[in-house]
Amino acid sequence: MRIRAFSLAIAGLTTAGLLAWALGGCGTTAASPGASGGAPAPVRVVATTTQVADFARNIGGDRIQLTQLLKPNVDPHDYEASPADVLAIAQADVVLKNGVGLEKFLDEAISSAGFNGAVIDTSQGVRIRTGNGTDEEKAGDPHIWHNPRNAKIMAHNIAVGLSTKDPADAALFERNDTAYAAKLDALDRDIQTRIDTLPADQRKLVTNHDAFGYYVDRYKLQFVGSVIPSFDTSAELSGKDITDLVAKIKATGVKAIFSESSLPPKTAETIGQEAGVKVIGGEDALYGDTLGPAGSAGDTYLTMEEHNTQTIVDGLS
């Protein structure tokens, strides 16, 4: 009697499996791009990070139809794909990624979506800093966009990639690229001028995690340490970690710890109290991994870098 019930269950499972398999065999045609007749449809673009999406908006304008996977203030580690995301990848013409190992989820998503179009690695041609030594940053430090010169390269890579997909609009993409590059140059000069207003011995940075390596290198700041020692944001700290960083802060005489918008400020506050320095967080937090939501001080790449610089200069002077 019971044995029969089990055989029944096994039979049920097998049939269901076979049925679904058979369905899979004949139904594999995903909704394919159907641009036919009339004005050419805009290029369908999927961008992974908030920064890359912002660059793509600046280059592509209304000639692209953009889907951005990571939402503002979401740590890439906590990314959870929705069916709509995978569908967008399946129907995309181009996928734009930051590269340098930031998008660990992307390979799975791409193979899951069955996407075999062009994946443009915007970090092509950027000089990559060595990572922090963990497996996580084997490929190098992925926060390349915090140097506006790298941002220029990334934007250019996007322009080239879009032009290959949509040659008819190549001239427009190139114009947009040139215009945006000028803005990035202006941003670069502006940041430099403002950092220069700081006394030389105050150009020291303690952040929540070390996302700002490229920024520190570009503007000759001194990096003292970070609250979370690696890119990883999940590990719990030990008492020793905290004591060590507090000692470092006291020894170098840094004035402030900068918290980041996508990370919990609690640990930074504990360390700030301990070392007797202020913690800059909340509304004024730096944008490290992502841009801010629309309407915030960091909703585009340009305003985000301006905000970060202003916050750092205010905090350290």
Partner 1 sequence: MLHRLLVEPFALPFMQRALIEALLLGMLGGVVSVFVLLRRLAFVSDALTHTVFPGVVLGYLVAQTRGIVWGALLFAVLSAVLLTVLSANRRVTEDATLAILLTGFFSVGVVLVSRRTSYTADLTGFLFGRILFVDRREIVETAVVGAIVLVTLAALGKEFLLRAFDPDGAAALGYRLPLLDLALNVLVALVVVAAVKAVGTVLVIALLVVPAAAGRLLSDRLTVILAAAVAAGGLAGWFGLAASYQASVYHGLRLASGATVVLALVGLYALAFAVAAGRRGLGRLGWLDRLAAAGRPAGGGRA
Partner 2 sequence: MSAAPLFGDAFARRALLEAVLVGALAGLVGVHVVLRRLAFFTQAMTHATFPGVVLAALLGVNLLLGTGVFGVLAVLAVAWLWSRQGAEETSVIGVVLSAGFALGVALLSAQAGFTRDLSSYLVGSVLTVGRADILSTAGVLVAVVLVLAAISKELVLGAFDRGTLVALGYRAGLLDVVLLLLIEATVVAAVPAVGTILSVALIVAPAATARLWTDRLGSMTAVAIGLGVFAGAAGLTISQLQNVAAGAAIVLVACACFVLSWLLAPRYGALSRWRASRAVLSTVDGPI
Q: Which residues are at the interface with partner 1 (CB under 8 A)?
A: 1-3, 5-10, 12-13, 16-17, 20-21, 23-24, 27-28, 30-31, 77-87, 90, 104-105, 108-109, 111-114, 134-136, 230, 232-238
Q: Choose from partner 1, partner 2, none: what does 39 bind? Cβ within 5-8 Å by kind.
A: none
Partnered with residue 256 across adjacent β-strands are 278
Shortest Cβ distance from residue 289 to partner 2 (Å)?
11
DSSP state of 237: P
- Measured from the CB atom, the residue of 72 and 161 that comes closer to partner 2 is 72
Which tokens belong to 114?
A: 């069955």
135 binds, among partner 1, partner 2, none (CB under 5 to 8 A by kind): partner 1
Provide the minimum distance between the beta carbon of 261 and partner 1 in the complex, in angstroms, as a whole number: 19
Closest CA to 148 of 217, 101, 207, 198: 217
Q: Please give the residue ranges that form the binding site for partner 2 (CB under 8 A).
A: 71-75, 78, 80, 82, 233-243, 246, 262-264, 266-267, 269-271, 273-274, 293
CA distance 8 to 207: 60
Considering the complex, what minimum distance in angstroms separates the CB of residue 110 from partner 1? 10
Identify the DSSP state of 265: S
| Helix residue spans in 92-169 (DSSP H) | 106-113, 148-165
The answer for residues whose C-beta is within 8 angstroms of residue 154's C-beta and 6 or more apart is 51, 52, 55, 98, 122, 123, 126, 144, 145
Closest CA to 164 of 97, 94, 98, 110: 94
Q: Which is nearer to partner 2, 162 or 257 (CB)?
A: 257
Q: In terms of Cα–Cα distance, which of 79, 156, 90, 148 is closest to 121?
A: 156
Q: CB of residue 159 vs partner 1: minimum separation in angstroms?
A: 29
- DSSP label at 70? S
- Go through 89-116 and write b for each residue having 16 or more CB atoms within 10 A of its CB, e for each that does not: bbbbbbbbbbbbbbbebbeebbeebebe
In the list partner 2, partner 1, none, the entry touching 112 (Cβ below 5 to 8 angstroms by class) is: partner 1
Q: What are 65's two structure tokens? A: 């139809």
**CB-based contacts of 179, cutoff 8 Å, min separation 6:** none
- Shortest Cβ distance from residue 183 to partner 2 (Å)? 26
- Residue closer to partner 2 (CB basis): 243 or 317: 243
Q: Which does 2 bind (CB under 5 to 8 A by kind): partner 2, partner 1, none?
A: partner 1
Smallest separation (angstroms) from partner 2 to the CB of 249: 13
Least separation, in Å, of the C-beta of 271 and partner 1? 17
Cβ closer to partner 2: 85 or 169? 85
Query: Which one of partner 1, partner 2, none is in contact with 36 (Cβ closer than 5 to 8 A by kind)?
Result: none
**Cβ–Cβ < 8 Å for 67, 169:** no
* Cβ count near 282 (within 10 Å): 9
Q: Work out what residue 283 binds among partner 1, partner 2, none; the CB cut-off runs from 5 to 8 Å by kind.
A: none
- The entry of partner 2, partner 1, none near residue 197 (CB within 5 to 8 angstroms by kind) is none
Q: First and final CA of the chain: distance in angstroms? A: 82
CB of 239 to partner 1, least distance (A): 12
For partner 1, give the closer residue by CB, 3 or 251: 3
Partner in contact with 217, chosen from partner 1, partner 2, none, beta carbon below 5 to 8 Å by kind: none
Contacts of residue 64, defined as CB under 8 A and 6 or more positions apart, other chains included, come to 42, 43, 44, 45, 56, 162
Closer of 176 and 207 to partner 2 (Cβ): 207
